[in-house]
Structure 1
Amino acid sequence: MTAEVEADAPAPAKQRYGLELLAVLGVSYGMSGITALLSFIRSQLIINHGIGFRHVATGPINSGRKTHYQWLDILDQLANVLSGVLPAFLAVVLLIRSPGGRGLGVGLHRLRLREMLQGAGFAALIGIPGLGFVYVARKLGANAQIVVTDFPDVWYRIPVLLLDALQDGLAEEIIVGAFVLTRLRQLGWSNSRALAVGAVLRGSYHLYQGYGGFFGNAVMGVIFGWWFQRTRRVWPLVIAHFIIDAVSFIGYIYLHGRVDWI
């Protein structure tokens, strides 16, 4: 289905697309953006008695626990991963109802080696400058002091963190990248307008990281969204997001306390 056909979809179809978009965002990153914004405002009022430039430390992005019932701890973590993926599953189910070509119009039919290499390239393009951006933002006080993970030192820590990174990549890129941009196009939005909204959405649910988290992820949203709008393939973005998060989670474990800004 071409963009022209989607833009000329009948009114009942457009209404359904809009409701589906609101429903998916309501159970995923739309609500996350609202809660992150409220948390950000609260932290600013507590520290600065008004919206300022500093930000308090945040709780851990990725957390775990160690009890006497290790098998139950593992199942808890797997349930958390499943819970994070389910909104993306909902988005995929809804895309099935309005197919736009192979792989539901978003390139989900297969993962090719070329896309894996493209994903690695995107991870380097975003991740390497991103480290410098985090360093500068922390020194300026524009980023929160982030506890990336407080996962206990157990044998399954690294596998679970990798699963969490994969869940983040799948959920964010399928929903915020593929689904949101696809539905906005089907609603008749221009690419530039949809790209701006997607970038702001991506930045919004990272506001708990401070101003730096918002702007850094918004820039990432522009780059990833631009790529998706031109290729209609989401796998490279999933791979890139997975690599970035995996390096962040595991790198934090081994570098925190050894590097003063991490």
Structure 2
Amino acid sequence: MDIAQAPAPSARAWSRRLTAEIWIVLGLSLGKSAVYAVVAIIAALTRGPLGEQTTALNTSQSPRPYLDLTYQVLSVSFALVPVALVLYLLSDSGRSAFRRIGLDLRRPVRDLGWGLGLGALIGIPGLGLYLAGRALGITVAVQASGLDPYWWTVPVLLLAALKNALVEEVIVVGYLIERLGEKRWGIPAIVAASALLRGAYHLYQGWGPFAANAIMGVIFALFYLSRFGRRRVMPLVVAHTALDVAAFVGYQYLPEEWLMALGVDV
């Protein structure tokens, strides 16, 4: 007996489904982070001048070293679940999601070259914007690593950097751009949405990092859509990982006088 197939959804119904899907994905991942960041900056602004406040990244989760390591690894692992979700969702056409958004190793030399170049393009001006924000009192002091110096500290910081890169670039660039494109959004609107989301979930650090990350979002989205990026997130993952490794490991191990010269509180 033949089983009747359900009719294909109309374009309008498919667009509504995509809208719901996008909100669910963002609600489980970086959209949630953006909401918390907005609340955090409101709390900070009502507490006092931003320039006199501090926020810490990669903090210890237990005074017991091996329990802390366990928590760190679990935190990284579960943070990658939304990445797995969007890759699954993007494979709905039967095409590999890894190939669709270029999260593969088909062009390792090219991706590495573009990634390191983009990292330098973003990192140097980004540090300048951070320092300017600190000087103007509109950016909190960011302590990039609050971990004690155990044998596993550097590997965990490397994992944290890679996790951040995968979560942000796969969701904010690969997934969001592909889905908004399916909804027939124009390129300016797609780039603006991706960039503003990236800036929003960094708001807890102040207005300087918001601006720097929004600019980074514009550059990364345009690169992904350009003939140079070829809809590949791998160069962006490389760039983001390099930036975070420099920030996390550098903060952990650079001499205090160097950090103070860079305007970083220790």
Length-normalised TM-score, structure 2? 0.87
User: Displacement of 1:169 after TM fit?
Assistant: 0.3
Q: Percent identity?
A: 35
Find the aligned partners of 1:147 and 1:39 in 2 and give their Cα distance.
16
Name the structure 2 match of 1:105. Answer: 100
RMSD, matched Cα: 1.8
Structure 2 vs 1, CA of residues 113 and 11 (structure 1 numbering), >3 Å: closer, same or farther? same
Name the structure 2 match of 1:6. Answer: none
The yes-or-no answer on 1:168 pairing with 2:164 is yes
Structure 2 vs 1, CA of residues 140 and 255 (structure 1 numbering), >3 Å: closer, same or farther? farther
Question: How do 1:169-248 and structure 2 match up within 5 A?
Answer: 169-230=165-226, 231-248=230-247
Structure 1, unpaired ranges of 5+:
1-8, 49-53
Provide runs of 4+ in structure 1 moved above 3 Å. Answer: 65-68, 98-104
Name the structure 2 match of 1:40. Answer: 41
Name the structure 2 match of 1:90. Answer: 85
Which secondary structure state, in structure 1, belongs to the residue aligned with residue 17 of structure 2?
A: helix
Q: Render the CA deviation track for 1:202-247: whole Å, top value 9, x for unaligned.
A: 0000001100010000000000000112221100000100000000
Find the aligned partners of 1:214 and 1:256 in 2 and give their Cα distance.
27
Name the structure 1 match of 2:6. Answer: none
Find the aligned partners of 1:101 and 1:235 in 2 and give their Cα distance.
15
Name the structure 1 match of 2:128. Answer: 132
User: Displacement of 1:33 after TM fit?
Assistant: 0.6
Length-normalised TM-score, structure 1? 0.89
User: Displacement of 1:13 after TM fit?
Assistant: 2.1
Count of residues in correspondence between the two structures: 248
Name the structure 2 match of 1:154. Answer: 150
Find the aligned partners of 1:19 and 1:56 in 2 and give their Cα distance.
40
Name the structure 2 match of 1:17. Answer: 18
Structure 2, unpaired ranges of 5+:
1-9
Task: Work out whether residues 104 and 234 of structure 2, in 8 Å CA contact, stay in contact via their aligned partners in 1.
Answer: no
- Structure ID, larger Rg: 2
Find the aligned partners of 1:236 and 1:127 in 2 and give their Cα distance.
15
Task: Work out whether residues 91 and 97 of structure 2, in 8 Å CA contact, stay in contact via their aligned partners in 1.
Answer: no
Amino acid at match of 1:94: L
Q: Render the CA deviation track for 1:173-192: whole Å, top value 9, x for unaligned.
A: 00011101111110110011
User: Displacement of 1:104 after TM fit?
Assistant: 4.4
Q: Say which is worse superposed, 126-135 or 196-205, in terms of deviation.
A: 126-135
Q: Say which is worse superposed, 237-246 or 96-105, in terms of deviation.
A: 96-105
